[in-house]
Amino acid sequence: MAVPDDLTQVGHISGAYGIVGGIRVTPYSQDADALLNVKTWWLDKPTLHAVTVRSAKLHGGDVVATLVGMRDRNEAEALKGASVQVARSEFPALEEDEYYWSDLIGLDVVNLQGEALGKVTDMMHNGAQSILRITPVADPAAEGKAQERLVPFVDQFVKTVSLEQKLITLDWGLDF
């Protein structure tokens, strides 16, 4: 099987689950849709290879899964630390104004006045909503180190998201 050119890391294997070769995957998104719905995952341990998912379900904050051909706990333990990747083209479709975190990371961020706030370098979830982690643009003239911004990904602050322009516009001042 040819390696897809749109692989996206969606989690990592954090350990074995059960005694018959199940694995525990720590997802990199709150709902883990790609892990739960896509049947071909790519693991990078020992080398990049495809695996077929027999079953996957949420368990606590993790996804527990069984893979075709995995027979015991020792095989599952050997995969601990492997990244789990999925072809982006296989992600489940989203509703309008919904985004995968992996699509937002790397976008430039400006405010309504057109002032650069930085770049989205990470996403997290605080239980109520997703949070943009924005690393400021380096300004050699600025005194001291600019602070990263943590902005809730909610309509009150997020005014537009343009994946085509790779740009998010926020209602957020430079002094926040």
- Plot region of 33 (φ>0 → left; ψ -120 to 50 → alpha; else → beta): alpha
Q: What is the pairing mode between strands 83-87 and 158-162?
A: unpaired
How large is the average pLDDT for residues 49-54? 97
Here the CATH number for the domain that contains residue 19 is 2.40.30.60
Domain that holds residue 65: 7-90
Q: Residue type for 105, please?
A: I
**Does residue 115 lie within any of the structural domains?**
yes
Q: What values do phi and psi take at 164, rounded to 5?
A: -65, -45
The mean of the pLDDT values for the chain is 91
Q: What is the percentage of the chain residues whose pLDDT exceeds 90?
A: 73
pLDDT score, position 25: 97
Q: What is the percentage of the chain residues whose pLDDT exceeds 70?
A: 95
- Does residue 142 register a pLDDT over 80? no
**Does residue 44 lie within any of the structural domains?**
yes
| Lowest model confidence (mean pLDDT) among 10-14, 90-94, 141-145, 152-156 | 141-145
How does pLDDT run across 96-140, given as a tens digit for each residue?
A: 888 888 889 999 999 999 999 999 999 888 878 899 999 997 665
pLDDT greater at residue 77 or residue 101: 77
- Does residue 146 register a pLDDT over 90? no
pLDDT score, position 137: 78
Looking at the structure, do residues 60 and 125 belong to the same domain, yes or no? no
How does pLDDT run across 6-43, given as a tens digit for each residue?
A: 999 999 999 999 999 999 999 988 778 899 999 999 99
- Does residue 145 register a pLDDT over 70? no
CB-CB contact of 154 with 166 (8 Å) = no
Looking at the structure, do residues 19 and 58 belong to the same domain, yes or no? yes
* Geometric angle at alpha carbon 18, from 17 and 20, rounded to 5°: 110
**Does residue 95 lie within any of the structural domains?**
no
The domain tally of the chain equals: 2
Q: What is the CB neighbour count within 10 angstroms for residue 3?
A: 11
